[in-house]
Amino acid sequence: MGPGPPTAGAGAPPRPLSLTARLSYAVGHFLNDLCASMWFTYLLVYLHSVRAYSSRGAGILLLLGQVADGLCTPLVGYEADRAAGRCARCGPRKAWHLVGTICVLLSFPFIFSPCLGCGASTPEWAALLYYGPFIVIFQFGWAATQIAHLSLIPELVTNDHEKVELTALRYAFTVVANITVYGAAWLLLHLQASADTGPTPDVSDQLGVQDVPVFRVGFLYMSTRLIVNLSQTYMAMYLTYSLNLPKKFIATIPLVMYLSGFFSSFLMNPINKWIGRNMTYFVGLLVILAFAAWVALADGLGVAVYAAAVLLGMGCATILVTSLAMTADLIGPHTHSGAFVYGAMSFSDKVANGLAVMVIQSLYPCSSELCCRACVGFYHWVMVAVTGGVGVAAALSLCSLLIWPIRLRS
């Protein structure tokens, strides 16, 4: 996919991308989105509740992945920019995209599979060492694909509104990927629960071993990713342990979140035109803070958890699309360094997410059981902190952008 057809004259504005080209770009991150949905939503649940590894061990593996991703993104960005002109046939962006996709395909299936050669007597540290290399390879591939894909935006389009539209289309396919994951999870868990028989069928309705089969806009982007990723990571734990809901909810609630995000993404372009980037982001933050306040004040949500999920999904979609558009603004016409900018931004995002998860896992109150009475309130306040607390930090960062707007320096 090239940067569009040539212009009729030297001073004529570039033609907008065709619908086919825009859709081709938007679907280019689909595999990454599928894997990210599994990684952030189900990795801790799988390792902690299903594989019965310790809370700290599960956190170490997620931290390893985030650190590896954070270190790879600026390096990949630098190399992708430096390779401009060397890949005459397909271009450096596509070449890195292909390398990343291959790495993801070859490594990710092993992360959510039982440790080969491990048994009941295998020490936990040995199992963690087994998963480590696969996680590092996966995160390198994920970073290469993400940076190559994002850095295409300022090369394909130059108009601000087209950047928002392309980012919104990209996010729409992110939502489709998440719907695919959560829809499949709901179907499999629903069928598995229906097949269980016995005097206490409600036991199978809970997770267990039977379920084995550099910039200020930089800080804003990091805060955005912390809200989106951490809320996604701990939503399953919050639903399972704090609200004590059946396991099917760890599929249906994220599905509702992403459906609401999907529909709200279509409003991003007209809203950005109407009230601007900063105010659009602020509206998204207000919706997220409303979710955090609801969770903090309500002892039990019941069926209202679906309405809360709609709020969180709409808010996350709004701030994510807008923050990516702000990053494209930062790059402006300097597309030759676009990959490095996205890599540097993503570095802070990945490391911050990994450290945040490690801190939260280290504070886990139950030492001898998978979940005791103390963890009920623990995950409740984790959800409040990762949405409300980080949302306030993002609001402060946004205020700095209102005072000192993003400008390109010569």
Report pLDDT for 211: 47
- Token reading at 137: 């390879």
Percent pLDDT > 90 in the chain is 4
In whole angstroms, give the CA distance from residue 67 to residue 136: 9
The Cα 337–Cα 78 span in angstroms is: 8
User: Considering Cα of 226, then 232, then 234, then 235, what sign does the dihedral take?
Assistant: positive
Query: Which runs of consecutive H residues, i.e. helices, occur in 83-123?
Result: 91-111
Torsion over CA of 149, 150, 155 and 157, rounded to 10 degrees?
110
Contact 125, 172 (CB under 8 A): no
* pLDDT tens column, 285-299: 898 899 989 888 877
pTM above 0.75, yes or no: no
The string of DSSP codes covering 320-336 is HHHHHHHHHHHHTT-GG
User: What is the mean predicted confidence (pLDDT) over 346-351?
Assistant: 67
The region of weakest confidence among 102-106, 120-124, 198-202, 236-240 is 198-202
Whether residue 373 has pLDDT greater than 80: no
> What is the tens place of the pLDDT at every residue in 177-221?
878 777 777 766 665 555 554 444 444 555 555 444 433 475 676
Q: Which residue has the tokens 């990710």?
A: 108
- With 60 as the cut, is the pLDDT of residue 409 above it? no
H/E segment holding residue 48:
none
Residue 166 has pLDDT above 60, yes or no: yes
